[in-house]
Amino acid sequence: MPFFQTVTAFLICLVLTLSRTAWAGELPVLIDVADLLKFAPEQRPVIIEIVAPDRPAPGAHIPGARLSHFKADGWVIDYEGLPGMLPPPDKRSALGARQGIRPQDTVVLVATETDNHGLGAVTRAFWTLRMMGHVNLHLLDGGLPAYRASGARLADSAAAHAPSAPYPQDRFTDTWLTDSGGVYDGGDYGTSPLDVRESDRSNGFITHPLVENPGTIYGADNVPPAAFVTDGHFKPAAKMHALMDDVIGKPPGPIIVFSDTGYTASIGWFSIREVMEHKDVRLYDGGYIEWDDLGYETYDPRNDMGDALG
């Protein structure tokens, strides 16, 4: 091939490669089915369908998607009296290997069901990958139900996992995590801890079996998952801001979210950090179960005197 033809062919390939890279970089974290279908075969991301605990696997799948059972596959670990915690580094590294995720991969997580239970699982998995330092990460809005509703082609079975090397621990971060000592860190910025549980739980009418004192963390604001999600889809960022800016306070200070175990809290974390794009959002992994067990101040709204307990 003549030299100028070789150079021309190289430049065309380079432009196409750069165009594909730029397009992929422009994708928002929260993508829709149309975005997912735009990926060219050579760009195909690692698609992982997340099955929430105690839920059945779906009967049809996104073509090429792998299936992961949230609890059985080790996205969380249980300690005595404290379930659903972030796994230690070695177990996270092994989790990445089992899922076949390499640091350079583009990963799309998909909820197989989009009630609070299903969305809690997929956003918690998303948060865990962020805690592992994974960058190229997306979540399919509306999950598998939205994909089915689009009429796009389905597969009868999930793709086989292709295990990879252990995920490198030198990428891990604690940026998006806090413990009981950091629960009030947003107070200097006018931001109370955010209780991302259904109001019946925050108000003390429904209580986790491991909780002794019903209610919520003293001084917390209740922001249930419905503030962020409608009919299985995340609300637009502008709508979240309209609903939430008075509650969130004055970032760039930290925003702390919690639930009983950090499960539905991840819906709030994902919404505020990834959709609303606040920079510093931390999830209290121990949640209300740990807070109550430690004997720290709680508040039961059914108490007419409004006194803190603990």
- pLDDT tens string 241-284: 999 999 998 888 999 999 999 999 999 999 999 999 999 999 99
Give residue limits of the domains in the chain. 27-171, 177-309
pTM: predicted TM-score of the whole model, two decimal places: 0.90
- pLDDT tens string 117-174: 999 999 999 999 999 999 999 999 999 999 999 999 999 999 998 899 999 999 999 9
Q: How far apart are CA 226 and CA 216, in angstroms?
A: 18
Q: Are 166 and 87 in contact (CB under 8 A)?
A: no
Rg (alpha carbons) of the chain, rounded to whole number: 21
Q: Are 257 and 218 in contact (CB under 8 A)?
A: no
- Considering the domain 177-309 in this protein, what is its CATH number? 3.40.250.10
Amino acid at 125: A
- CATH homologous superfamily of 27-171 equals Rhodanese-like domain (3.40.250.10)
- pLDDT tens string 32-80: 999 999 987 777 899 999 999 999 999 999 999 999 999 999 999 999 9
Q: How far apart are CA 197 and CA 216, in angstroms?
A: 10
Q: Are 47 and 65 in contact (CB under 8 A)?
A: yes
> Is 194 strand, coil or helix?
strand
The Cβ of residue 183 has, within 10 Å, a number of other Cβ atoms equal to 22
pLDDT at 205 over 50: yes
Q: Are 253 and 278 in contact (CB under 8 A)?
A: no
DSSP H stretches of helix in the chain:
3-26, 33-38, 89-99, 116-131, 143-149, 199-202, 237-248, 265-269, 287-293
Q: How far apart are CA 102 and CA 2, in angstroms?
A: 39
Q: How far apart are CA 52 and CA 119, in angstroms?
A: 8
Angstrom distances, CA of residue 157 to CA of 40, 127, 134, 151, 175 = 21, 27, 27, 17, 37
Q: How far apart are the first and last CA of the chain?
A: 81
Q: Are 107 and 138 in contact (CB under 8 A)?
A: yes
List CB contacts of 158: < 8 A, sequence separation 6 or more.
49, 57, 61, 65, 66, 67
pLDDT at 191 over 50: yes
- Asked if the domains 27-171 and 177-309 are classified in one and the same CATH topology, the answer is yes
